[in-house]
Amino acid sequence: MSGPVTGGCMCGACRYEAQGEPVDVRVCHCRKCQKATGAPLYARVRMPGDAVSISGPVGWYPSSDIILRGFCPACGTSLFSKRADGSTISLLMGSLDDPDRFAPTAQIWMSSKQAWVDLSGLLGYEAAPPA
Q: pTM for the full model?
A: 0.92
Centre a 10 Å sphere on the Cβ of residue 56 and count the other Cβ atoms it contains. Answer: 16
* pLDDT value, residue 1: 54
The domain segmentation of the chain, as residue ranges, is 5-124
pLDDT for residue 130: 81
Are the CB atoms for 117 and 29 separated by under 8 Å?
yes
Distance CA 66, CA 83 (A): 6
CATH topology of domain 5-124: glutathione-dependent formaldehyde- activating enzyme (gfa) (3.90.1590)
pLDDT, averaged per 10 consecutive residues of the chain (131 residues), comes to 90 98 96 94 97 97 95 97 96 97 96 95 91 73
Residue 76 pLDDT:
96
